[in-house]
Amino acid sequence: MTTVLKIDPKHPQQELILQAAEVLRGGGLVAFPTETVYGLGAIATDAKATARIFEAKERPATSPLIVHVASIAQAARFAARWPDEARALADAFWPGPLSIVLGKSPIVPAAVSGGGETVAMRAPAHPVAVALIEALGEGIAAPSANRSSRLPPVRAEHVLKGLDGRIDLVLDAGACPGGLESTVLDLSGAKPRVLRRGAISLARIASLVEVEDASRPASEDSSGWIRMAPVGEFEFTEVRSGAILVRERALAEGVAVRVLGEDARAYASRMYDALHELEDAGCEVVWIEQLPAGSDWDAIRDRLRR
Ligand code: TXA
Ligand code: MG
């Protein structure tokens, strides 16, 4: 049984936070909102608890988790060392959607590092996430709260679509404000490298440290559930289809359409929600209108292609 607790996103009720922290302390799994997407949390220092995340999500064991913290001091306990660059970046972007990868300290369970030598850490900005970490007094290891290779959840309902009955608790604070996941930045090597594009742009990071884009190029092929193309190239067959447009346009009758607008930030904050709506409407294919040019759209383009 998965318990759902409705909680105020701005002023989380302390008794609900304490209840969720108690579940985590006992080795349970709690889904909670962050400013990007909902995370599926376990106490980061407990090998058994963190291993349960992989079962619930059916996630491959080699895929490492992000440790969510409330401060640089708390993050530093999970890292073998905390270099100046990490300090500068955390000072600039925390709390916020930047995950920093460093060599791990001995307190990091093997499950959290995916069997590797490094650990990713970030301080989320959502008041519910902050309150939960503070009440637990320990880091929370959390991937996005979806089944492996499904859409990331930006509402509690999306979490339940994939994980109802598989986790102990969901803190339901409504929609996540941000949309895109955190940017993952690897500081464990000789030179900072972006491993995953996300909510903090490459340009903003590059204004502080010299950084290399090492994010895997997303495939350009248009054969999956989500297909990106100029509107003129959309192909609607008999299957129920959806479309996500930048600008309002008339499409074939019966196509489920969402118009997300020409502002990259607003688009990002609606994107996953719109995809969930189209999934729930039974769409078997979703056409995405080719995105406007410009680096503001890079991370969005990248996330949609995956
Ligand atoms: O916004 C977010 O990052 C959300 C919220 C819940 O914080 N979390 C999230 O987690 O998207 P997940 O597990 O779905 O994606 C984490 C990404 C994966 O691409 C993973 O490979 C990478 O971060 N990652 C985590 N630990 C890493 C490590 N030690 N080294 C390299 N990459 C790592
Ligand atoms: Mg994920």
Nearest residue CA, atom 24 of ligand 1?
Answer: 64
Nearest residue CA, atom 19 of ligand 1?
Answer: 196
Ligand 1 centroid to Cα of residue 143, in Å, is: 6
What local confidence, expressed as pLDDT, does residue 217 receive?
A: 76
Residues with a CB atom less than 6 Å from ligand 1:
34, 36-37, 39, 63-66, 97, 99, 101, 113, 116, 118-120, 142-144, 181-182, 184, 195-196
Ligand 2 centroid to Cα of residue 34, in Å, is: 13
What local confidence, expressed as pLDDT, does residue 248 receive?
A: 96
Give all domains of the chain, ordered by start, each with its CATH number: 3-213 (3.90.870.10), 226-304 (no CATH)
Nearest residue CA, atom 7 of ligand 1?
Answer: 39
What local confidence, expressed as pLDDT, does residue 222 receive?
A: 66
Q: Which residue's entry shows tokens 């401060």?
A: 71
What local confidence, expressed as pLDDT, does residue 128 receive?
A: 98
Ligand 2 centroid to Cα of residue 37, in Å, is: 9
Pocket test for ligand 1, best of 36, 37, 59, 66 (most atoms within 8 A of CB): 66
Neighbours of 305 (CB within 10 A): 17
What local confidence, expressed as pLDDT, does residue 216 receive?
A: 81
Tell me which residues of the chain have a pLDDT lower than 70: 221-222
Ligand 2 centroid to Cα of residue 140, in Å, is: 15
Ligand closest to 179 (CA) is: 1
pTM reported for the whole predicted model: 0.97
Pocket test for ligand 1, best of 34, 99, 105, 183 (most atoms within 8 A of CB): 99
